Amino acid sequence: MNRARALVVEDSPVAARLLAAQLRSYGFDVDTVQSGEEAVNACTASPPDLVLLDIELPGISGFATANQIRKLPIAQPRILGVTGRENAEDECLAAGMNGCVPKPVSRERLEQGLVSGRAFTPPGRDALASIRRIEELSGDRGLLKDTLQSFLMKTPGRLRVIASAAASGEVTTAKSIAHQLAGIASPLGLFELARVARLIAHAEDIPREQDLADLQLEGRAALQGIQQAYDAEFSR
């Protein structure tokens, strides 16, 4: 039987050896790399089951590394951030990780991280499950097909309008289109896209640059997920 595989991403050789030893004691086969770039390459070449990812990496940060791994067309691993920072859980989850393990990494803390946290589901999987529920409820396969086609055709334009309107100070327009996008995304199972769109729609003033950047990122992921779901349902 194949053993589960783990990847330790840690620029400190000493810390990497300690983490690897702990994981091997749980029965993992372990590889180690020292940078975000190496981690993305390793996941591309041979996707692991688990990634322990130092957040404070030189070069590409742990957050950016997790984000890049989540965009890879691979069987997605469980990713746990490893950090000495307090209250980093929300940042780790926002970056696409399943949770985080605080330093120093004791056996108890690692065990807790391995069994808790959020499950990561690629956008296409949520979308496919959601559109099948929509079909069951509506009984109208044609309407479902039209809805997905409309999303694929109109979403790129909506994303461009939001970015352009926010950049030129047309806040009302940006918020209005973001509100529309949130309302469309939720029924399709694109919950993270809907969440970010709502942040922009409900911003008190000009939307934050980070929220706008996240919207573009989530929008691209959603388009890929819906296209995959559409192909799975209607290209057979």
Determine the length of the chain: 236
**C-alpha to C-alpha distance for 234 and 140, rounded to whole angstroms:** 13
Q: Are 181 and 125 in contact (CB under 8 A)?
A: no
225: amino acid identity, one letter? G
Residue-level pLDDT at 127: 62
Return the CATH number of 123-234, one of 1.20.1410, 1.10.260, 1.20.120, 1.25.40: 1.20.120
Record the pTM: 0.53
Residue-level pLDDT at 122: 46
Domain ranges of the chain: 5-115, 123-234
> Which is more confident, 149 or 214?
149
Q: Which regions of 12-171 does DSSP assign to beta strands (E)?
A: 29-33, 50-54, 78-83, 99-102
| 168 phi, psi to nearest 5 deg | -95, 5
Q: What is the mean pLDDT of residues 111-131?
A: 60
pLDDT over 60 (residue 123): no
Over the stretch 163-172, which tens digit does the pLDDT of each residue have? 999 999 999 9
**Reported confidence tier of residue 116, pLDDT bands at 50, 70, 90:** low
Q: What percent of the chain has pLDDT over 90?
A: 28
Q: Are 105 and 22 in contact (CB under 8 A)?
A: yes
Residue-level pLDDT at 1: 42
> Which is more confident, 107 or 139?
107
Residue-level pLDDT at 42: 96
Q: What is the mean pLDDT of residues 190-197?
A: 79
Fold exhibited by the domain 5-115: Rossmann fold (3.40.50)
Lowest mean pLDDT among 2-16, 119-133, 148-162: 119-133
Q: What is the mean pLDDT of residues 25-34?
A: 90
From residue 70, alpha-carbon distances to 34, 39, 95, 217 in Å are 19, 12, 9, 11
- pLDDT, the chain, mean: 83
- CA-based nearest residue to 90, from 110, 118, 50, 114: 118
